[in-house]
Structure 1
Amino acid sequence: MGIVERKMRHKEEIRTGILEAAWHMVITDGWQSLSIRKIADAIEYSIPVIYNHFENKEAILLEFSKEGYQKLALTLNEAKKTVVSPTAQLEVMAVAYWDFAFENKEYYQLMFGLGIPACEMVNQVAEIKEMTSTLVSTIQEALVQTGNREADYFLKYHAYWSILHGLVSIQMIENSGKTDAFKKMILKDAINGFCKSLVL
């Protein structure tokens, strides 16, 4: 291995170490505990070394946020494959979304700490766009299936996501990030009603 390759590998190892140390802090003490100084202390490097890899703490948070959206997109797509009908897909995807939120609480709280991402952010971050596209395309397919081609799919998309995020957020606040079987039933009922609203 040449000098350049060794330097590149060493740089990648430091970057990985930074992210691993940061994630450990998050899991242990929450997002509010994260700081550049604490990360530097944890990996036993100076603060400037951290800044050589990440511009600031927000850049580290964005990295984790991207990971979260990527994981959520994969979860939704896997759920979507389990059924054929678009309206049924919306129902199983809603359950998968709920399960993801409570099985990956730290990711979810970072991803949606300020609510549903604005359109500008969706267009700028590929991982968010992929997840959003999965929801939008399924709603469009459902509108075609139900013959409701004149409906505003973008409006329906926001209504669908508002149900998901709203109920998840309420549950997280009420039960400190723990899931609840009855609230999950409420989610299923709400999404069932949403799917019926797609029919002309």
Structure 2
Amino acid sequence: MSVQERKERERAERERLIVATARELAEQQGWDAVTTRRLADRIEYSQPVLYSHFRGKREIIGAVALQGATELAAAVRAATPSEGGPRARVTALARTYLDFAERNPAVYDAIFQLDGGLPFADKDTPEPLKDAFAALLESLGEVAGEGVQPGLFTELFWAALHGLATLTRAGRLPATEADRRTELLVDRLAVL
């Protein structure tokens, strides 16, 4: 291994450490607790080292968002059974999405609520964000209904899931009715 390859590997490892530490800190204490000073202390590097990887907190949030979008896409794909028909697939997708949002609130916020400098629905949208949407579209496209554009239907279904996730987490909707809401969403929106 050349010196250059070793330095690149070390740089990539430091970047992974920064992102993992930011994510852990955000999940434990919220995004307000994530500062470059606190990150530098936790990973035992100086702030200039952090700035050599990321220009600031916004880019760190963006990196966490991209990592989270990759995980969300994988979870949605893994949860949609090939058997059981469209209703089972859409129900599994909805429950998996809502479960991901509940189990990973800081990551979910990084993807959808905070400004990580990542464009959505744009030619410059990063691949992990496109892939997360594609994972939803793969299961939802088949239940959009006659004459309904699958991408538009997926946006609507996703917006409903996002609303359920954020309103439930904020305590605006009682968590005790989460399963019934999911069933109603599937029953009303998906043409099965």
Rg larger for: 1
Unpaired runs of 5+ residues, structure 2, are: none
The residue number in structure 1 matching 2:5 is: 5
1:82–1:105 CA distance, 2 compared to 1 (3 A): farther
Q: 1:161 aligns with which of 152, 158, 162?
A: 158
**Post-superposition shift, 1:54?**
1.4
Displaced runs of 4 or more, over 3 A:
none
Whether the 8 Å contact between 1:68 and 1:111 is mirrored in structure 2 is yes
Comparing 126-135 with 34-43, greater Cα deviation is found at 34-43
Matching residue's letter, 1:31: W
TM-score by length of 2: 0.84
C-alpha deviations, 1:65-104, integer Å up to 9, x for none? 0111111111111111353523431121111111111122
Q: CA deviation at 1:114?
A: 5.4
> Which residue is 2:71 aligned to?
71
What does residue range 28-43 of structure 1 map to in structure 2 within 5 Å?
28-43=28-43
Question: C-alpha separation between the residues in 2 aligned to 1:85 and 1:141?
Answer: 11
Over aligned residue pairs, what C-alpha RMSD do you find?
2.6
Query: Unaligned stretches of 5+ in structure 1?
Result: none
Q: CA deviation at 1:15?
A: 2.1
Question: Structure 2 matches for 1:136-175, cutoff 5 A?
Answer: 136-143=137-144, 148=146, 150-174=147-171
1:1-200 paired onto structure 2 within 5 Å: 1-113=1-113, 118-120=120-122, 124-143=125-144, 148=146, 150-174=147-171, 180-195=175-190, 198=191
Residue identity opposite 1:11 in structure 2: R
CA contact 2:69–2:132 (8 Å) conserved in 1 = yes
Task: Count residues with an aligned counterpart.
Answer: 189
**Matches of 1:186 and 1:132, distance apart in 2:** 22
Partner SS for 1:60: helix
Identity percentage over the alignment?
26
SS at match of 2:122: helix
Whole-Å Cα distance in 1 between the matches of residues 164 and 105 of structure 2? 14
The 1-side partners of 2:148 and 2:24 are apart by: 46
SS of alignment partner, residue 168 of structure 2:
helix
Name the aligned partner's letter for residue 172 of structure 1: R
- The alpha-carbon distance between structure 1 residues 27 and 154, as it changes in their structure 2 partners (threshold 3 A), is closer
